[in-house]
């Protein structure tokens, strides 16, 4: 499948076929996509919770109630569901962990290069913590970069996917014990096999024309 084919074929699945499981090698590829997602100053402010069992999906489905009950079948009937989360803060431990991993993987030619990377990353964190006061929103932006890669990767692999913001974030955080780990949920993605009830599969893709969304200079 070409990239052009994938972006045209990709759509948000509205119903999954229950009881069907995606091959582990394809899931591993998508986990690799998430692990290697880009983030501003390599901040990597994320954590991904992967539900591959009925019990795991049921725990996530607790957040699809009340106004979001329509998303419950998309969670319990999928093969895998991934909760993309952000850290509650980019604290000292995380910044040091990222820096030491970079050193371990050979990204610094000397201590000066390491110190420069550390200083640059901390300066961005400080800007968003103190000047712009939007650190959680900045971290969310990085998670949405990962989301885009995940959806495109799934399309390239022929995997049906549904991104969802329609869930009770507080309920999901509590159900998965995220807050005790210094995390909070941002968006869910269900992965699996679309069913015959997926009405969206038969609908044509609709996007604004290029002359309305591109300016060439």
Q: Residue ranges per domain, the chain?
A: 3-212
Compute the average pLDDT of residues 143-153. Answer: 98
Which of the residues 14, 62, 141, 181 is marked catalytic? 14
* Residue of 20, 100, 165, 205 marked catalytic: 165
Q: Quick check: is 14 catalytic?
A: yes
What is the distance between the alpha carbons of residues 170 and 157, in angstroms, rounded to a whole number? 32
User: What pLDDT is attached to residue 103?
Assistant: 98
pTM of the model: 0.97
Position 1 confidence tier, pLDDT thresholds 50, 70, 90: confident
Identify any residues that bridge with 106 across adjacent strands, giving them in sequence order: none
pLDDT in the model for residue 6: 96
Q: What are phi and psi of 147, to 5 degrees?
A: -60, -45
Is pLDDT of 21 > 90? yes
Q: Taking Cα atoms as reference points, which of 159, 112, 126 lies closest to residue 41? A: 126
Name the residue with tokens 């300066």: 123
pLDDT confidence of residue 142: 98
pLDDT at 26: 98
Q: What is the mean pLDDT of the chain?
A: 98
Name which of 191, 188, 192, 142 is nearest 49 in CA terms: 188
Predicted confidence (pLDDT) at residue 19 exceeds the cutoff of 90? yes
Q: Could you read off the pLDDT of 62-81 as tens digits, one per residue? A: 999 999 999 999 999 999 99
Domain 3-212 class in CATH? alpha beta
- Confidence check: pLDDT of 131 > 90: yes
Residue 184, helix vs strand vs coil: strand
Alpha carbons 49 and 201: distance in angstroms, whole number:
27
Percent of the chain topping pLDDT 70: 100
Verify whether residue 165 is a known catalytic residue: yes
Which token pair is 102? 């970079």
Contact assessment for residue 189 and residue 161, using Cβ atoms and an 8 Å cutoff: yes
Is 205 tagged catalytic? no
């Amino acid at each position: 499948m070409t990239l052009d084919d994938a972006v045209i074929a990709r759509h948000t699945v509205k119903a999954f076929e229950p009881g069907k499981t995606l091959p582990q090698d394809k899931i591993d590829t998508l986990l690799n996509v998430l692990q290697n997602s880009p983030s501003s100053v390599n901040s990597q402010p994320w954590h991904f919770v992967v539900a591959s069992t009925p019990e795991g999906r049921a725990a996530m489905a607790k957040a699809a109630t009340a106004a979001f009950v329509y998303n419950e079948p998309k969670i319990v009937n999928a093969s895998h569901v991934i909760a993309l989360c952000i850290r509650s803060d980019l604290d000292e431990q995380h910044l040091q962990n990222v820096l030491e991993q970079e050193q371990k993987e050979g990204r610094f030619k000397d201590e000066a290069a390491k110190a420069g990377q550390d200083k640059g990353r901390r300066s961005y964190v400080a800007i968003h913590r103190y000047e712009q006061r939007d650190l959680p929103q900045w971290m969310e932006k990085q998670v949405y970069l990962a989301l885009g890669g995940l959806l495109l990767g799934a399309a390239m692999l022929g995997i049906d996917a549904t991104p969802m913001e329609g869930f009770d974030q507080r309920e999901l955080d509590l159900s998965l014990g995220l807050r005790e780990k210094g995390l909070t949920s941002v968006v869910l993605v269900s992965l699996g096999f679309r069913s015959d009830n997926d009405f969206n599969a038969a609908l044509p893709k609709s996007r604004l024309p290029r002359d309305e969304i591109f300016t060439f200079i």
